[in-house]
Amino acid sequence: MSEPDDGAVGVVVGEGSTRIPIRNLWLLYLYAAELYEHLSTSERVQGESNPTALADLAARILLAEVRSRLRRGLTPGYVARHEVLTHVRDRVDQITTARGMLLERGRVACDFEELTVDTPRNRYVCAALLTAARWLGGTGVPRSAQPFRDSSLAHDCRAAAADMQRLGVTAGRPDPLTPRTQTYSHFDRDDRRMVAAAQLLLELALPSHATGRTAIRGLDWSEHGLRRLFEEAVRRFLAVHLRPEGWSVGKQQLRWPSSSTSSMGQLLPVMEADVVLEHRQSRRRIVLDTKFTTAFSKQFGHRGGGLRSEHLYQLYTYVRSQEQLVGGDVRTEGVLLYPATEQAPALDVTTEMHGHVFRVLTVDLAAPAMAIQKRLLSVTASSS
């Protein structure tokens, strides 16, 4: 699924009027990855200009971070252990000890915590190195994934994994929940970039439509999976590029302007906007909702329809419900963001209702990376 040089579409998803052309899904995965926030400017440009080299970039970043940890020492952590010992250590498991009649044999079952480098974090990173080595080395790689092969990088990843194993890190099946359960302190915050690179490698696992000899978790082509990918990619991209300009960017639950003493208050449905952008200096607040479908309804008019009414009602509710909660001096705007479809390749319309600006626009995912970036950043363009 490499990006064609002639600008041709890499893949089309959906059916009928919702056929969405996408030049390269790797670019969306790059934007959606936590690693994107930790890339340097040059690394970001490298990944965006050639998204098909994303796995190679992630492997190189992971290798550099692991080598740095190996020089300084891997980050240790306390790991829960349950072992039968010849002496008491920490807490005695009395049930296991009594049931196995261990005391008669001079032994005791204990639960204790041990400071070790064989932590879930390091095991996850080690598994990512071995995965990168296997794929970059060509083991079980389908023909369509041959551009990812790099025997030198594969050798270096395998050597780094071996070094981690010699220090006591177990190489096993990675737990996909590990990155989401990690907490970082001042002393190990540099591990974030390493774990983010490992996560991107393991979650991508260089997917391909061709049949290979290695079973991997493929891309989620369901409507729900693509919608989540699009939403996460937009949110992380805007966060990386707009926060330096004073914008706060994040997912946010919106409150209904109801009385706290109302019996109906607890029964109101939760309103959760995909992205809320705020700029204190300019007193602007943008509620952005992403939709991975067509912007048009077939049931309106004769020529393909008008805008999706249910989406407009939703955005209208999001914006109007916040009037009393954010203050009159803050201008709240609403934006609906869609991918362009084959039937409606470009759309950018704006209107004003009850003092609020509402905007509907599409982003052409079949366009080059620079055009996609420019379009996404235009969501903050002032209507005045």
| Dihedral angle sign, alpha carbons of residues 197, 198, 204, 207 | positive
Q: What is the pTM of this model?
A: 0.77
* Position 290 pLDDT exceeds 90: yes
Specify whether the CB–CB gap between 366 and 21 falls below 8 A: yes
371 vs 9, more confident = 371
Phi, psi of 16 (to 5 degrees): 55, -125
Average pLDDT over residues 130-139: 80
Euclidean distance between CA atoms 224 and 292, whole angstroms: 9
Percent of the chain with pLDDT over 90: 44
Which region among 115-124, 210-219, 338-347 has the lowest average model confidence (pLDDT)? 210-219
Q: Check pLDDT > 80 for residue 348.
A: yes
Check residue 54 and give its pLDDT.
79
Q: What is the pLDDT of residue 296?
A: 87
* Residue predicted with more confidence, 125 or 329: 125
Question: Which H or E run includes 313?
Answer: helix 309-320
Query: Which structural domains are found in the chain, ordered by start?
Result: 41-74+118-219 (no CATH), 77-116 (no CATH), 224-380 (3.40.1350)
pLDDT at position 55: 79
- Tens of pLDDT, residue by residue over 153-182, are 899 999 999 999 999 999 888 888 899 899
- Average pLDDT value for residue range 364-379: 92
Q: What is the pLDDT of residues 227-273, one digit of tens each?
A: 899 999 999 999 999 999 999 999 988 888 776 666 777 778 888 89
- CA nearest to 348, candidates 360, 333, 335: 360
Q: State mean pLDDT over 61-89.
A: 93
| Beta-sheet pairing, 91-92 with 108-116 | antiparallel
The pLDDT assigned to 262 comes to 64
| Predicted confidence band of residue 102 (pLDDT cuts 50, 70, 90) | very high
Phi-psi region of 327 (alpha: psi -120 to 50; beta: other; left: phi over 0): left
Does residue 384 register a pLDDT over 80? no
Percent of the chain whose predicted confidence (pLDDT) is above 70: 83
Quick: pLDDT tens for 321-340. 888 777 667 788 999 999 99
